[in-house]
Structure 1
Amino acid sequence: MALVIPAVLDAIRESQTTIVTEKELEVLGYCLMDLAKKGLVDELKLDMFNLPLYYPSPNEMETLMKTNEHLNVQRMEILSHVVFSNPSGIALYLRAALEGLLEKQFGSDIMDELFELFTQKLAESSSLFNPENQDLVVIFVLLKRKLRT
């Protein structure tokens, strides 16, 4: 099994960093509210929607993987820093990560309009995607099932 996990650097706590999804998710929420005002999103479904996120550090991931009774870590490494320098990149990233969850809650009909509106709102607020403030990394973990003895 291969996992690709967004994370924060070990030396940086989540409260000290700007992660590409923290403020952007707030903007995405505003976009959903705009669609609810247009009658395209059910307000009750919007009120019930919650998206808690946690970004582990590489050390946390290593500790978790080592304590797993069913899987061995074959390989684990930090792939890169993820830096988005334009609104479209952020929109594509979040769409890839969240579209399944959003479709389950709100339906597939609004996805194109939602992410077009999201891209537009990000473009209007260029301060949201300053690459110098982004400390998100990606951890690659390759796991293999432990043999039963």
Structure 2
Amino acid sequence: MHSSNSLNWLSRVPKSVGDINSPAWNADSIYCTGTVKEVVEAYSSQYKKDMENFLNARALELVGGGLLVLVLGGVPNSVTSSQTAIGKDYEILGSCLVDMANKGLISKEKVESFNLPIYYASPNEIEKLIQDNGCFSIVRMETFPGNRKHIYNSQMWTLIVRAGFEAIISNNFGSEMVEELFELYTKKHMDNVSIFSRDDVISLLHLNIVLKRKI
């Protein structure tokens, strides 16, 4: 069995990060930066539930000794998402939403409550989740840094980001703002593309994991 590049998506955005009355309210960002304890706890808790459900479902489908191959993104151990290239990119996208809100094109309150249902766990975190689940043994876990060359082409990268997030953004803000948003995003990405080549900006990890269904 094989799952490729799907396990970073959460089944839902944690309710608390969009709740103004919650200590996990994530008004200053559209993703889990890894820098605010309460936000991290909300996202990691949802990720744990989703991974538990995923592993339990796959365990029902696999015979003992069957293999499950996972390909997903992650952050290096002891690194926050805000330190990664993809984190910097989400910050650019978020700043575009703020710009549109400041122009009165979309609701500021909606921007402050908007969060992406994406979470990047560390190898240590993923390993513990698998071990705690107990249905699988880890045969192999390989990590290697991602190649961010494609992110330097702003127009091509906009198409990738739009393919991933257009539906989510439209559902939250309406489809009429999408064209202007991604035009603004392309320009701002081009203006800030040098960020991605800085030494202090870390590549997201690619994780290749082989699991065996316990008998």
More strand per residue: 1
Q: Which has the higher contact order (CA 8 A, sep 6+)?
A: 1
Q: In structure 2, what is the Cα distance between the partners aligned to 1:17 and 1:41?
A: 25
Structure 1 residue 58 corresponds to structure 2 residue 123: yes
Structure 1 residue 35 corresponds to structure 2 residue 100: yes
Pairs within 5 Å for 1:1-149? 2-4=3-5, 5-10=72-77, 13-15=78-80, 18-51=83-116, 54-69=119-134, 77-78=142-143, 81-83=146-148, 84-130=151-197, 132=199, 133-141=201-209
* Gaps in structure 1 of 5+ consecutive residues: none
The AA in structure 1 aligned to 2:173 is: F
- How many percent identity over aligned positions? 35
Q: In structure 2, what is the Cα distance between the partners aligned to 1:79 and 1:39?
A: 43
Q: Is contact 2:75–2:81 with CA below 8 Å preserved after alignment?
A: no
Cα 1:131–1:113 change in 2 (3 A) is: same
The AA in structure 1 aligned to 2:87 is: E
Q: CA deviation at 1:40?
A: 3.1
* Gaps in structure 2 of 5+ consecutive residues: 6-71
Cα 1:144–1:100 change in 2 (3 A) is: farther
Q: CA deviation at 1:28?
A: 1.5
The two structures have a TM-score, normalised by structure 2, of 0.51
How many residue pairs were aligned?
Answer: 145
